[in-house]
Structure 1
Amino acid sequence: MESITIDEILEITRGELLQGKTDLEITGVAIDSRIVRPGDLYIPIVGENNNGHVFIVKACENGGLVTLTQERHEAFPADMTVIFVTSTLEAMKTLAAFHRHRYEVSVIAITGSSGKTTTKDLVAAVLSQKYNTLKTQGNFNNEYGIPQTLFHLNPEHEIAVIEMGMDHTGDITKSIHEVDPEIGVITNIGLAHIETLKTQENIFLAKKEILQTLGNENIALVNGDDPFLVKLRDEAHNFKVKTFGIHGKHNLKVLDYDSHSRGLNMTVNWEGQQESYVFNYPGEHNLYNCMVAIWLGHYYHMTQMEIQKGLTAFVPSQNRMNIFYVGEMKVINDSYNANPDAMKGALDVLSTMKTDYKRSIAILGDMLEMGDHGPAAHFKTGEYARTRADVLIGVGPLGAEICRGYGSEAGLVYHVADAAAAGQCIASIMTTGDIILIKASRGMGLEKTIDYIKGEK
C-alpha cells in the first residue's frame, strides 16, 4: 500500500487529532490488533460481539503508532497518534474509497446467490495470465472485508476482482461506492437469504445494487438463463447489458458441452467466434462460472490460449470443491456453504464422478437461512439426491427432510444430529471404491467429518 499522511487521513475522514505526531505516514491498515505491523493504521471496529477499542494498546505493542477511535477516553498509549472520527467503520470505508481511486485500475464486482466465489477465483485465474490481478481473499466480501481488500491495491495492479456478498437489502449499497466497478457481474438469483428477504424478487433487487454505480461505458454481465436477470436485457439503463448462457441468444453462449468424470469439454460462441475449452471440474453449474471468465478474458483482449491457461490454473477456495483421496476413496469437500442450487450442482458432480467408483455417498446437512422455505427445499434436495447418490447421510434438523425426500426405498439412508455423528456414521460404512460428497451450510461444520474419513478421529 502506498503511504498516506496523517494530514491526509484527517482530511479524508474529517477526523480530529486527539494526540500524537502529524509527521507520520501509514503504509497499511488493519482491523485486527494481532496482525498489526509497524506502519499500519489500526482501525478499531465496534461489532456485535467485540469492540476493537479494547485492543488499541495491543495494536500499539505490535508496532501500530496510529489509530482511529470513535470513543473519547484517556486510555491511549502516550506514543500513539490518535484520530477521533464519528464512526470508525465509515472512516475505514472512506479511506478505502480514497485508496481505490488513486489508481486507474479496472475493477470487476461479482455477486450472486451461488457460485460467486468460484466465479471470482476463476476470473482472477484467467485474467492473471496477462494482467497483475488483485482478488478478494477468503470470505472478505462484506462491508468489513471489502475495504481490507481494496487497501491491498498498489500501482502494479491492473485489474481487481471484488466479491460482494449480502444478507439484507442495502448490504451491497454500503460498499459499492468504494468499489466503483467498471463491470458488475451477477451469477444467478436463487434462494440464499430467502428467510430474510422473503421473495426471490427481493433477492434480485438486493443483488442488483451491484449495478447502481455503473455509467454509460460500463457493463452489467449477467446470467441470461436466469429468469430474473434476463429481464435486465430489455430494460432501459445507463449501462450496457451483456448476457451469457446455454439457452437462447447470448453474447457468450455454450453451443455444446460434455460433463464427465475428469471435468468439462465445452464449445462456446463469443460474439460470433466459436472456440473450445476444457475445465478440470464437471457439472453444468461450472459452465456458467467458466462463461464469466471466458467473456471477461475476451473483453480484456486475451487469446483463447491465455484464457484456457487460466481455466487450467484454477484452484478452488478452501472447502469449495476440494477434491482429495483417502486410499482408493475420492472425497469432494464442498462444505463451505450451501443453498438449493449449489446442492444440486454438487450432487451432479458426485453423479458424474461416480462412473469411476463403485458407490457414491452424499453427506448433506442443513441449508440455513431458508425460513419457511426450508422444509420443502430440503425435501426437494433429498428427492434430487435419490437420483444422484447411492447412500445418503442427512445431518441436522432439516437433514431429516432431506432423508424423507430421499426415501428409504432408494438405498441406504441415515439421519444424524450433527457433524460428529455424521463422521462416526461415514467411518462405519465407507469402503474402498467409494466417492463421498460433503455439503452443507457453513454453520453445520461438516468439514469435521473429514477427520473421521481420514481415520484421524
Structure 2
Amino acid sequence: MDSISIDEILGITRGELLQGERDLKIKNVKIDSRKIQNGDLYIPIIGEKNNGHEYIEQAFLNGGSVSLTQEKDRPFPEKMTVILVESTLEAMKALASFNRHRYQLPVIAITGSSGKTTTKDLVASVLAQKYTTLKTEGNFNNEYGIPQTLFNLGPEHEMAVIEMGMDHLGDISKSIRSVDPDIGVITNIGLCHIERLKTQENIFLAKKEILQTLKNDGMALVNGDDGFLKKLKEEKNSYQVQTFGINDQQSIKALEYVSNSSGLQMLVEWEGKKENYSFGFPGVHNVYNCLVAIWLGHFYKMTQPEIQKGLDAFVPSGNRMNIFSIGKIKVINDAYNANPDAMKASLDVLETVGADYGRRIAVLGDMLEMGDFGPAAHYEIGEYARKKADVLIGVGDLGKEICRGYGQNRNDVYHVANADAAGACLRKIIASEDIVLIKASRGMGLEKVLDYIEGGNK
C-alpha cells in the first residue's frame, strides 16, 4: 500500500490524537504485534480470547511508531503516536476501505458453500497470466482477515480477488462495503453452516450479501445449475447476472467434459464460441470452478492460450485436494474442511483417480456444524462412499453414521475415535498401490493421518 499520513488516518477513522507526532507516514497496517515492522500502524483488536491492547508496547518495541486504541486510559509508550477511536475494528475496516478505493482496478469477490477457495485460487492463477493480481491468502476471508488483504493492495496491482467466508447471517455484510466488488461470484448453496442458519434459504440469503454493493455496471456470476442461485436471474436487480454450469442455458457452459486420473478435458461454450480446455485435477466440481476462471479470463480480454496457461499454473491451497505419492501409495489430501457436497466431490475424485490403483481407501471424518442434519447427512455419505471406495475408515462420533451408511457388518469398514486412531488403523491395512482419500472438517485434524502413511509418527 502507499503510505498514509496521520492526518489522513485521523480523518478516515474519526479519531483523536492522544499523544505523539503528526508528521509521520504509515507504510502498512498490522493487527499482529509480532509482525509489526518499522513504519507500520498497529491496530489492537479485541477478540474472544485476546485483547490486542495488551500488546501495544510489544508493537512499539518491534518498530511500530503509531497505534490506534479504543481504551483511552491505558499506559502507552512515551514516544509512540496514539490515536483514540470509538472501535478499533470499525477503524480498521474504514482504513481498508480507503486503501481499496484509492486504486482504480477491478475487484472480484468470491463466496459459496464449497469450492470458494479453489475458485479464488483458480481465478487468481488465470488473471495473473496477464495482470498483476492480489488474492486472499490462507484463511484471511473473514471480518478480520479481509481488511488485512486489502492493506496489501498497492499501485502495482491491476486485479484483486477477494475470498469472503461467513458463519452467520450478516457476516459478509460486515466487510462487503470495504471490498466493494465489481463482480460477485457465488459458487453454490449447500449445507455448510446449516447448524447456525437452520435452512438453505438462510444460507442463500447470507451468501447473497456479497452482491449488496454492486453498482448498475456490476456483475453477479453464479452457478446456474444451483436451485437457489438460478433464481437470481428472475429477480429485478440493478446489477447484471451471468451464470455458469453444465445444464440448461448458461452464460458459459461446459458442453462436454471427461474426468479421469489425469484430470479434466472440457469443451466450453462462451458467447457462441467453443474452446477446449484441460485441468490437472479431476471431478465435476472442478468443471464449475474452471468455468468461473474461464469466464472471468474472457471478460477481462484474455485469450484461450493465456487462460489455459493459468489453469495449468494452478496450485491448490494447503490440505485442499492435494494429490501426491508417498512411495507407491497415492494420497488425496483434502482434509482442510468438509460438507456433504464437498465430501461427495472428493469421493468422486477417489473413484476416478483410483481406477489406476489397487484398493480405494476413504478416511472420512465428521462434518461439523451440521446440527440436526448431521446424522442423516453422514449416513448418506456412507451410502455414497459404498459406490466409490473399497475400504472405509470412519472417524469421530458422526463417523459412526458414515460407517452405518457404508455397511457396518462388512469386513472392509472400520470406525475409530480420532485422527491418530485413524492413522494407526490405516498403517495396519494399507498396501503398495493403494490410494487413500483423507477428508473431514478442519476441527478433526485429519491431516495427522499423513504422518502414519509416511511412517513419521509411531
- Fold conserved (TM > 0.5)? yes
Question: Which blocks of at least 5 consecutive residues in structure 1 are unaligned?
Answer: none
Aligned to 1:247: 247
Tell me if the contact between 1:386 and 1:410 (Cα under 8 Å) persists in the aligned partners.
no
Aligned to 1:277: 277
Q: Within 5 Å, which residues of 2 pair with 1:376-387?
A: 376-387=376-387
SS at match of 2:388: coil
2: CA distance, partners of 1:343 / 1:329: 21
Tell me if the contact between 1:390 and 1:411 (Cα under 8 Å) persists in the aligned partners.
no
Q: Within 5 Å, which residues of 2 pair with 1:44-443?
A: 44-408=44-408, 412-443=412-443
- How big is each residue's C-alpha offset from its partner over 1:227-247, in whole Å with a ceiling of 9 and x where there is no partner? 000000111110000001001
- How big is each residue's C-alpha offset from its partner over 1:111-159, in whole Å with a ceiling of 9 and x where there is no partner? 0000000000000000000001000000000010000000001111111
- The amino acid that maps onto 1:444 is M
- The amino acid that maps onto 1:232 is L
1:74 Cα offset (Å): 3.9
SS at match of 2:352: helix
1:408 Cα offset (Å): 3.5
Q: How many residues align?
A: 457
Tell me if the contact between 1:344 and 1:384 (Cα under 8 Å) persists in the aligned partners.
yes
1: CA distance, partners of 2:265 / 2:200: 32
SS at match of 2:205: helix
SS at match of 2:307: helix
SS at match of 2:312: helix
SS at match of 1:269: strand
1: CA distance, partners of 2:97 / 2:74: 30
1:355 Cα offset (Å): 1.1
- The amino acid that maps onto 1:279 is F
SS at match of 1:167: coil
1: CA distance, partners of 2:425 / 2:434: 14
1:75 Cα offset (Å): 1.6
1:73 Cα offset (Å): 2.0
User: Which deviates further from its counterpart, 401-410 or 387-396?
Assistant: 401-410
1: CA distance, partners of 2:409 / 2:52: 54
- How big is each residue's C-alpha offset from its partner over 1:176-199, in whole Å with a ceiling of 9 and x where there is no partner? 000000000000000000000000
2: CA distance, partners of 1:319 / 1:64: 34
1:17 Cα offset (Å): 0.7
- The amino acid that maps onto 1:400 is K
SS at match of 1:281: coil
- The amino acid that maps onto 2:147 is P
1: CA distance, partners of 2:313 / 2:410: 39
1:410 Cα offset (Å): 5.7
1: CA distance, partners of 2:347 / 2:100: 40
- The amino acid that maps onto 2:4 is I
Tell me if the contact between 1:70 and 1:87 (Cα under 8 Å) persists in the aligned partners.
yes
- The amino acid that maps onto 1:377 is A
Tell me if the contact between 1:363 and 1:436 (Cα under 8 Å) persists in the aligned partners.
yes
SS at match of 1:361: strand
2: CA distance, partners of 1:424 / 1:75: 52
1:15 Cα offset (Å): 0.5
Tell me if the contact between 1:420 and 1:448 (Cα under 8 Å) persists in the aligned partners.
yes
2: CA distance, partners of 1:32 / 1:190: 34
1:268 Cα offset (Å): 0.7
- The amino acid that maps onto 2:414 is Y
- The amino acid that maps onto 1:338 is A
- The amino acid that maps onto 2:86 is T
- How big is each residue's C-alpha offset from its partner over 1:264-302, in whole Å with a ceiling of 9 and x where there is no partner? 000010010000000000000000000000000000000
- How big is each residue's C-alpha offset from its partner over 1:288-337, in whole Å with a ceiling of 9 and x where there is no partner? 00000000000000000000000000000000011221110011110000
- The amino acid that maps onto 2:15 is G
2: CA distance, partners of 1:74 / 1:440: 44
- TM-score relative to the length of structure 2: 0.99
Distance 1:111 1:172, change over 3 A: same
